[in-house]
Amino acid sequence: MTIVVGDKLPTATLVKATADGPDQVSSNDFFAGRTVAVFAVPGAYTPTCSAKHLPGFVGKIDELKAKGVDEVACTSVNDAFVMAAWAKANEAEGVTMLADGNAEFARALGLDVDSSRFGMGTRSSRYAMLVEDGVVRQLFIEEPGEFKVSSAEHLLSAM
């Protein structure tokens, strides 16, 4: 079942890409007690993700924080090393990269997709959500192949 607004996020282990290397973090701990704007991409280094999705959130961090967001995070079904390299290549300072290498978080949200026909295996749907103390307050899930409602601009306009 797909998560909906008002639901508490499921428990999953994510791997936070840090300067000191990978750091496992529970979704419960990461989202507890604060407001997080989180967006998911099908894959690091993929065209729309690199040209639009990540740069959009990087460019809007200050506006998101001005509206009460404590942290901006990106998740993808990639490993922490890929997420860290992608962040560096895109000068994404200020965005916390959360690797979901085994798609555990995407599956628990009901937002996993089978991209095997593209040689990509299981991936996450493209989405953006606003989470307050572990509860989904806003959720925008893209239709396959689209990039409209999961943008930083769209999330800001809904806040």
Q: What is the pLDDT of residues 94-147, one digit of tens each?
A: 999 999 999 999 999 999 877 767 766 677 899 999 999 999 999 999 988 889
Domain boundaries, the chain: 13-158
**Residue pLDDT, tens place only, 52-61:** 889 999 999 9
**Residue pLDDT, tens place only, 76-90:** 999 999 999 999 999
Contact between 110 and 3 (Cβ < 8 Å): yes
What residues are labeled active site?
49
Alpha helices in the chain (DSSP H): 27-31, 47-48, 54-59, 61-66, 80-89, 104-109, 152-158
What are residue 71's phi and psi, to 5 degrees?
A: -150, 145
**Residue pLDDT, tens place only, 12-40:** 999 998 888 899 999 999 999 999 999 99
Kindly report the pTM of this predicted structure: 0.92
pLDDT of 44 strictly over 70: yes
For residue 146, with 0-12 CB atoms within 10 Å meaning exposed, 13-18 middle and 19 or more buried, which class applies? exposed
Residue 9 has what DSSP assignment?
A: P
- The CATH architecture one would assign to domain 13-158 is 3-Layer(aba) Sandwich (3.40)
